[in-house]
């Protein structure tokens, strides 16, 4: 399992569409894919096993509700604990999983993602 380097700054890129990175949306809660422009809403920092937006909002990558496919990944004041693990088919790709689960961050419309596509959970056993 790869570690999030404390204090490291990251852009979170979708492996299938590398031009799309995770953005903290204007509402400061939604997480969506967007074209890369290096703005602070596209920069994330590893704090142990937490992932914090560098948009100046002090929001963390998190989820609310019962875990299931399609559950939106959101930004909240309360951080979730994440694991970073290599993709089973492409070891050059790292996936972000909710700690000790099979649920990882992905885009809702993974087959035809475009800017604004909402970020959701997907159970990797269903891929």
- Any domain includes 1: no
The verdict on pTM exceeding 0.85 is no
Cβ atoms of 49 and 42 closer than 8 Å: no
The residue segments making up the domain with residue 16 are 9-126
Q: Is residue 80 part of a domain?
A: yes
The string of pLDDT tens digits covering residues 104-114 is: 888 776 666 56
Instruction: Name the domain count of the chain.
Output: 1
In a domain, 37, yes or no: yes
**pLDDT value for 8:** 83
| Banded model confidence at residue 17, pLDDT cuts 50, 70, 90 | confident
> Does residue 20 have a pLDDT over 70?
no
Q: Judge contact between 124 and 110, C-beta under 8 A.
A: no
- Residues facing residue 123 across a β-bridge: 103
Predicted pLDDT at 77 = 94
Q: Is residue 35 included in any domain, yes or no?
A: yes
pLDDT reported for residue 117:
63
CATH (domain of 51): 2.80.10.50
């Amino acid at each position: 399992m790869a570690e999030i380097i404390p204090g490291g700054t990251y852009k979170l890129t979708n492996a299938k569409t590398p031009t799309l990175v995770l953005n903290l949306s204007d509402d400061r809660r939604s997480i969506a894919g967007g074209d890369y422009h290096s703005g602070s809403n596209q920069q994330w920092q590893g704090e142990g096993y937490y992932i914090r937006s560098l948009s100046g909002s002090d929001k963390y990558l998190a989820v609310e509700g019962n875990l299931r496919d399609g559950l939106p990944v959101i930004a909240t004041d309360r951080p979730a604990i994440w694991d970073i693990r290599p993709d089973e088919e492409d070891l050059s790709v790292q996936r972000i999983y909710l700690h000790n689960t099979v649920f990882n961050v992905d885009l809702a419309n993974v087959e035809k993602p475009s800017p604004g596509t909402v970020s959701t959970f997907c159970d990797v056993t269903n891929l």
